[in-house]
Amino acid sequence: MKQCNANRKRNKLVNFWVTPDEIALIETRVKLTGLAKGEYLIETLLKQDISISAGKYESDRLSLQLSRLSDALSHCDMNTEEGKMLLDECKLLFQELIKILKKKVDVNGKDIE
């Protein structure tokens, strides 16, 4: 039975595959926190520190994403729903990049609070 998600606060579904060992570990961690599984996953994913590696593979992937956004922006009508969604995606991407760039790191590569 399909649920109506229009009036939900969280109306987007995220799925991913895990191994039996990974699901056992996830479920154990969820139990330890006392949170609902969805809340645990949301908190874990949204509060995880992101760092940009200087390696070629990571740099190429970031460059590819920025190129994809640039191409999409140049071919998109910003007055449509698709255009607004693309602008929102760009805004979120740049907000996260700014947070990463502002993070201070000491000489040993450790974060400085």
- Choice among 28-32, 47-51, 91-95, 108-112 with the minimum mean pLDDT: 108-112
- Choice among 37-41, 87-91, 95-99 with the minimum mean pLDDT: 95-99
What is the predicted pLDDT for the residue at 94? 81
Break the chain into its structural domains and give their ranges.
Answer: 18-47, 54-104
d(CA 70, CA 56): 21
What is the predicted pLDDT for the residue at 1? 47
Cα–Cα distances in angstroms (integers) from residue 106 to residues 24, 48, 53, 97, 113, in the given order: 36, 19, 16, 19, 10
- Which one has a higher pLDDT value, 69 or 36? 36
68 close to 90: Cβ distance less than 8 angstroms: no
